[in-house]
């Protein structure tokens, strides 16, 4: 009895002490900074997201899924929405991996960054073997089909990934995509906007971590797109780093933001002994830029990373938080709570689209070819694809005349050269598509402003 009462009073004393300590520390943790205890909740305090690249094949791993569900508010499929995964054979689409990840995100209240509609890597074999107008057609169809499948479900699409060259040129990287014509990027953005007007459309690249020749090339493209009304809403900075970001990392983000696009850190991973500091520096830079909408790490645990052996992520192989995790959490918690109306509003007003309507199948032309136009239109603009078909003998050159209704004007084109941009516009073949066998077809295309409904076309051999 004595023993019991002594034990009880000791226990009572101990728990009173514990409660006090706990109470004090809880009060300190919440009142001093308003600190949140997960990456997603901490980022949300300033209106931002915190994301991770996720592999569908790991969704059965409970450690992985527990961390994913607890910490992250945005998901990027690591490989499942790339071209080789979604269109393994031309015109045959496979959304199984992408859909699995999307469903995981939706069922846990997270959003998805779509990655990536066009990229020179992870092209399916059939596309790698293509060039010219055939490839251009396949590229645009891919963008349209995939963006349509995920319509209304994607927060932001990486429409084009890694199109700029490394080094000092500031120019485009050579690829079969690039060789279809310099306008392939804007054509892809227009096609993506037409297919999914609600998704933010991003250009995404690496080695763009400071003001350098490559990031400046991209900056100039974005500036040009904004000035000409090409629909672009965001720029992704992959940020695969080794050690600290460059000193002008934040200034570089800011100059893009000042063009009126959202900026996002899209594939963050950092190798090196200075990792915790470097993660803190990147996070502080993002939260200091009002239009920096969020950060995504490229994987969850070190063992999930594509940078094998470099341990560049926030959780170790056992799923434990690393020092770098605490740096990021602290930097997110230190961010100024943002006015909810400021950071996440779409930058470009989106407009409803009209479904693709084939127009003007043209009657066979006595001079040996026919042309037909199909239109993909939205409010204020259009993409026209023109099919040129040879008659009973082969073509060794062709000329197509399109008659645009008044108010419509051509702004860019591919796989043909034009004279004029309004009214009657004449199109001639380029070097690689002048020869068309009897009964066979080739295609070219153009984009424009205004409405092209009612466009007509005629074809002549040249
Ligand atoms: C990587 C994936 O992590 C790997 O699993 C895959 O084998 C290759 O691609 N830049 C990107 C990402 O935009 O898509 C890449 O992802 C990493 C570099």
Q: Is pTM, for the whole model, over 0.95?
A: no
Mean pLDDT taken over the chain: 88
Sequence-distant (≥ 6) Cβ neighbours of residue 419 within 8 angstroms: 425, 426
pLDDT in tens, 299-316: 999 999 999 999 999 999
Q: What is the CA radius of gyration of the chain?
A: 27
Task: Please state, in angstroms and rounded to a whole number, the distance separating the CA atoms of residues 6 and 335.
Answer: 50
Protein residue with least CA distance to atom 5, ligand 1: 306
Residue 171 token pair: 């120019």
Ligand 1 pocket list (CB less than 6 A): 78-79, 161, 238, 267, 306
Q: Which residue has the higher pLDDT, 106 or 413?
A: 106
Spacing, Cα 418 to ligand 1 middle (Å): 39
Question: Which whole number is the average pLDDT over 195-202?
Answer: 97
* pLDDT at 84 (0 to 100): 98
Highest mean pLDDT (candidates 20-29, 41-50, 380-389): 41-50
108 pLDDT band, cuts 50/70/90, is: very high
Helix (H) or strand (E) holding 110: none
Best residue among 159, 203, 207, 267 to mutate for probing ligand 1's pocket (most ligand atoms within 8 Å of CB) is 267
Q: Are 197 and 352 in contact (CB under 8 A)?
A: yes
Burial 56-88 (b: 16+ CB within 10 A, else e): bebeebeebbebbeebbbbbbbbbbbbbbbbbe
* pLDDT at 67 (0 to 100): 98
Query: Which ligand 1 atom is at minimum distance from the Cα of 306?
Result: 3
How deeply is 172 buried, as exposed, middle or buried, from its count of CB atoms within 10 A (0-12, 13-18, 19+)? middle
The closest alpha carbon to 131, from 179, 94, 86, 84, belongs to 179
Task: Please state, in angstroms and rounded to a whole number, the distance separating the CA atoms of residues 430 and 397.
Answer: 9
What Cα–Cα distance (Å) separates residue 339 from each residue in 39, 46, 240, 283? 19, 8, 30, 19
The closest alpha carbon to 398, from 453, 452, 442, belongs to 442
Q: Are 218 and 253 in contact (CB under 8 A)?
A: no
């Amino acid at each position: 009895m004595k023993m019991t009462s002594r034990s009880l009073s000791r226990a009572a004393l101990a728990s009173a002490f514990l409660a006090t300590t706990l109470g004090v520390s809880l009060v300190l943790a919440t009142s001093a900074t308003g600190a949140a205890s997960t990456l997603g909740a901490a980022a949300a305090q300033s209106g931002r997201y915190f994301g991770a690249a996720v592999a569908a094949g790991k969704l059965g791993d409970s450690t992985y899924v527990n961390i994913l569900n607890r910490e992250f508010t945005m998901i990027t499929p690591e490989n499942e929405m790339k071209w080789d995964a979604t269109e393994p054979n031309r015109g045959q689409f496979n959304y199984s991996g992408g859909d699995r990840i999307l469903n995981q995100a939706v069922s846990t209240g997270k959003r998805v960054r779509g990655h990536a509609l066009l990229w020179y890597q992870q092209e399916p074999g059939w596309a790698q073997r293509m060039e010219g107008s055939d490839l251009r057609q396949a590229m645009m169809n891919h963008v349209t089909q995939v963006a349509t499948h995920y319509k209304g479900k994607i927060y932001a699409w990486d429409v084009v990934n890694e199109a700029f060259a490394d080094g000092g040129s500031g120019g485009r990287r050579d690829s079969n995509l690039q060789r279809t014509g310099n306008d392939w990027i804007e054509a892809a953005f227009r096609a993506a906007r037409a297919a999914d007007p609600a998704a933010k459309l991003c250009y995404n690249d690496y080695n763009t971590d400071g003001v350098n020749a490559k990031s400046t090339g991209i900056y100039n493209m974005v500036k040009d797109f904004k000035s000409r009304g090409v629909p672009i809403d965001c720029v992704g900075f992959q940020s695969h780093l080794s050690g600290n970001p460059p000193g002008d990392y934040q200034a570089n983000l800011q100059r893009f933001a000042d063009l009126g696009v959202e900026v996002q850190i899209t594939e963050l991973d950092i190798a090196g002994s200075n990792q915790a500091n470097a993660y803190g520096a990147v996070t502080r830079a993002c939260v200091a830029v009002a239009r920096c909408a969020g950060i995504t790490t490229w994987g969850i645990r070190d063992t999930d990373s594509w940078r094998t052996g470099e341990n560049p992520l926030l959780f170790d192989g056992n799923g434990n938080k690393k020092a770098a995790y605490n740096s990021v959490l602290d930097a997110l918690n230190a961010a100024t709570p943002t006015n909810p109306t400021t950071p996440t509003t779409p930058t470009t007003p989106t407009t409803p689209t009209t479904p693709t309507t084939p127009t003007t199948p043209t009657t066979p032309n006595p001079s040996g070819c026919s042309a037909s136009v199909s239109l993909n239109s939205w409010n204020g603009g259009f993409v026209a694809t023109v099919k040129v078909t040879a008659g009973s003998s082969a073509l060794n050159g062709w000329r197509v005349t399109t008659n645009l209704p008044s108010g419509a004007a051509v702004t860019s084109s591919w796989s043909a050269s034009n004279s004029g941009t309004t009214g009657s516009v004449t199109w001639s073949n380029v070097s690689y598509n002048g020869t068309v066998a009897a009964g066979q077809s080739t295609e070219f295309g153009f984009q424009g402003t205004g409405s092209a409904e009612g466009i007509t076309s005629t074809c002549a051999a040249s």
